Amino acid sequence: MKRWITLAIGAVLVLVGAVWVLQGAGVITGSFMTGQKLWFLIGLVAILIGIVAVAATARRTTKK
């Protein structure tokens, strides 16, 4: 069960991070984050953390 939670959190971080990167880069408009370098960088960090979480979860084997 914990494995699925970690996988879901990692996937959400990747998706949310991608939105933040696009807003920070000015691709997605209509937000206070639009065109802000800070949100671009926060998005990159979120994506990296999400990828690490997904990769770590995918590599883990079930031990019984």
> What is residue 59's predicted lDDT score, i.e. its pLDDT?
80
0.75 exceeded by pTM: yes
> What is residue 21's predicted lDDT score, i.e. its pLDDT?
97
User: By C-alpha distance, which of 14, 21, 2, 16 is closest to 54?
Assistant: 14
Q: What is the pLDDT of residues 19-38, one digit of tens each?
A: 999 999 999 999 899 999 99
Mean pLDDT of the chain: 91
Rounded CA Rg of the chain: 14
> What is residue 58's predicted lDDT score, i.e. its pLDDT?
83
Q: What percentage of the chain exceeds 70 in pLDDT?
A: 94
What is the 3-class SS of 15-36, one letter each residue?
HHHHHHHHHHCCCCCCCCCCCC
